[in-house]
């Protein structure tokens, strides 16, 4: 009986490893194929798209960079960083008020904020376009900053609030006895205690803002304010016959977020597990 259980355990482990290896191939191979095709010429790409490049030249990457990818990358970095700071700060401050401060109608306010999770961005596109055009913010950096912040605050607040709910109340009492105000207690005590969930929300928002396409396509039409997803589509329409250049631009766009996710995935999982678990 024991040997039978041991044999079944070995079989199960083999199937698990086969499944994981197959999943890794499905995920990694398209990325590797994209990177390798950035080194080819059009004739090599269409002649044998699955072969290795003949000449490992970075010419296609240089062309992609000079044809606008550098500007798109700068805009994406600027929008991503500013919207991340704004979203996490507003959400953390809101979560602190909802969990650590006694305010009237706190339950209603919490429900209203979390109700934003049910609002699909596509539903509000028409009134948002009209509103931003009337305010003179259409086709500007500020439009994306406001939209990315507003539509991510409910989700980020939900995660940080869930984490703060389980923090000991004695910390607030000790801070009050030491003469700390609300801002001091929040900035120097509560926020450092929320480092795991703050790290997770920062990484999650970066992944969202870096890859967001709908708002970036509709609310930016000038080349000076286009982010990478929209800029790469523009690059494809202008230079669609040079597919290796397009693949090179896609690789440049993917590298930062891939590195970020690779080095930060354990923080995402840990922060999400702690936040939802609490």
- Whose structure tokens read 């891939």? 258
Per-residue pLDDT for the chain (278 aa), expressed as one digit of tens each? Answer: 445 556 677 788 888 888 888 888 888 888 888 899 889 888 888 888 888 888 888 889 999 898 888 889 999 999 999 999 999 999 999 899 888 878 777 777 778 877 777 777 778 888 898 999 999 888 888 999 999 999 999 999 988 988 888 888 888 778 778 777 888 888 888 888 888 889 889 988 998 999 999 999 999 876 678 899 888 887 776 656 788 888 899 999 888 888 887 777 776 666 656 655 55
Place of tokens 């961005």: 121
Q: Give pLDDT, residue 2.
A: 45
Tokens 């990484």 correspond to what residue? Answer: 203
Q: What is the pLDDT of residue 88?
A: 95
Burial class (CB in 10 A: 0-12, 13-18, 19+), 44: middle
72-277 topology per CATH: MetI-like fold (1.10.3720)
């Amino acid at each position: 009986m024991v040997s039978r259980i041991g044999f079944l355990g070995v079989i199960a482990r083999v199937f698990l490893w086969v499944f994981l290896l197959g999943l890794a191939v499905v995920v990694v191979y398209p990325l590797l194929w994209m990177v390798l095709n950035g080194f080819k010429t059009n004739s090599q790409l269409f002649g044998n798209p699955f072969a290795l490049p003949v000449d490992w030249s970075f010419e296609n990457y240089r062309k992609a960079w000079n044809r606008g990818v550098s500007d798109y990358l700068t805009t994406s970095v600027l929008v991503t960083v500013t919207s991340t700071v704004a979203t996490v700060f507003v959400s953390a401050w809101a979560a602190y008020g909802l969990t650590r401060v006694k305010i009237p109608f706190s339950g209603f306010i919490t429900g209203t904020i979390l109700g934003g999770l049910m609002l699909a961005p596509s539903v509000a596109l028409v009134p948002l376009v009209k509103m931003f055009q009337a305010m003179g913010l259409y086709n500007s950096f500020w439009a994306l900053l406001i939209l990315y912040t507003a539509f991510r605050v409910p989700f980020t607040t939900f995660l940080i609030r869930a984490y703060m709910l389980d923090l000991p109340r004695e910390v607030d009492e000790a801070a009050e006895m030491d003469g700390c105000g609300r801002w001091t207690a929040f900035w120097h005590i509560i926020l450092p205690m929320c480092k795991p969930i703050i790290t997770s929300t920062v990484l999650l928002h970066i992944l969202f803002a870096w890859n967001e396409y709908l708002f970036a396509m509709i609310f930016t039409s000038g080349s000076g304010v286009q982010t990478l997803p929209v800029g790469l589509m523009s690059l494809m329409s202008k230079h669609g016959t040079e597919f290796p250049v397009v693949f090179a631009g896609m690789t440049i766009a993917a590298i930062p977020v891939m590195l970020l996710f690779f080095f930060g995935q354990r923080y995402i999982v840990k922060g999400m597990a702690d936040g939802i678990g609490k």
